[in-house]
Structure 1
Amino acid sequence: MHTVLLVEDNELNRDMLSRRLTRKGYRILSAEDGEQGVEIARRERPDLILMDMSLPVLDGWEATRRLKASEETRKIPVIALTAHAMTGDAERAYAAGCDDFDTKPVELERLLGKMQSALSNNLEDG
């Protein structure tokens, strides 16, 4: 069973996505802001991180940069989740260190495909 850290400040989005992913067989850890997400990632070493980009305390861009700068967490794949589906946002996510990018509202089958791809690539790189 893969462990996924969901970093999402919106409680309804966090709860809904957590339930849907749990039903698909994932173990879910959750954080409400980027700082909490970085702490949990360092402590728990999840297999994958779903990172909202618009977060309080520490935004997802900076949280991802910190995770990718740290030896202990740099290999954990990060998928950016954002409502900012604007031109340049995907590039900005990749520049921050994200391994993939998806828009909200989340389309579960599309997100699951990206998650499987990131997890498979990480196993190959590992």
Structure 2
Amino acid sequence: MNQTLLIIEDNPQNLYMMRFLLEKNGFRVISAENGMDGIQMALENRPDAILLDIQLPEMDGYAVASALTKHDALKPTPIIAVTSYAMVGDRERILAAGATGYIEKPINPDTFVAEIIGYMSNVTCHQEIDP
């Protein structure tokens, strides 16, 4: 597949599970444990998609998503929130901050990779239609 995904996640168990599932399906995975490092890695590596936890140290995922979308080089990059924030309004709030997708934790190992691919495909389709 040769696509690179950046996971911004501070929980080692969550990171391990996502990395395992994605690498098993041919993705290259890079990661950051906090928002500032994640933004820097995104700018340096230009990943094909960013998986973003909301509850992060120092800078929450809302601020990270907002900061990522301010960089022209990252505008076409899908940002997929992967979070345990599942209360009414949480999905809308992260989408308003700049995320293009939302997956609730705990993730479902049987559907996780397909969900990621689906969000990446939707963004690619929109980019081809609206260059």
TM range (shorter): over 0.9
Residue in structure 2 matched with residue 36 of structure 1 by the alignment:
37
Unaligned 5+ residue runs, structure 2?
none
Residue in structure 2 matched with residue 114 of structure 1 by the alignment:
115
CA contact (8 A) 1:48 1:77 kept: yes
Shift in Å, 1:59: 1.1
CA contact (8 A) 1:100 1:114 kept: no
Shift in Å, 1:16: 2.2
- Confirm or deny that 1:13 pairs with 2:5: no
- Residues 8-87 of structure 1: pairs in structure 2 closer than 5 A: 8-87=9-88
CA contact (8 A) 1:83 1:105 kept: yes
Shift in Å, 1:24: 1.0
Question: Root-mean-square deviation (CA), in Å?
Answer: 1.2
The one-character-per-residue Cα deviations of 1:35-83 (angstroms, maximum 9, x if unpaired) are 1110000000000011000000211110110111111112110110111
Alpha-carbon separation, structure 1, partners of 2:109 and 2:62: 23
Q: Secondary structure at the match of 2:91?
A: helix
CA contact (8 A) 2:79 2:99 kept: yes
Aligned residues: 126
4+ residue runs over 4 A deviation: none
Q: Secondary structure at the match of 1:109?
A: coil
TM-score, normalisation: structure 2? 0.90
Shift in Å, 1:109: 3.3
Residue in structure 1 matched with residue 91 of structure 2 by the alignment:
90
TM-score, normalisation: structure 1? 0.94
Q: Secondary structure at the match of 2:73?
A: coil
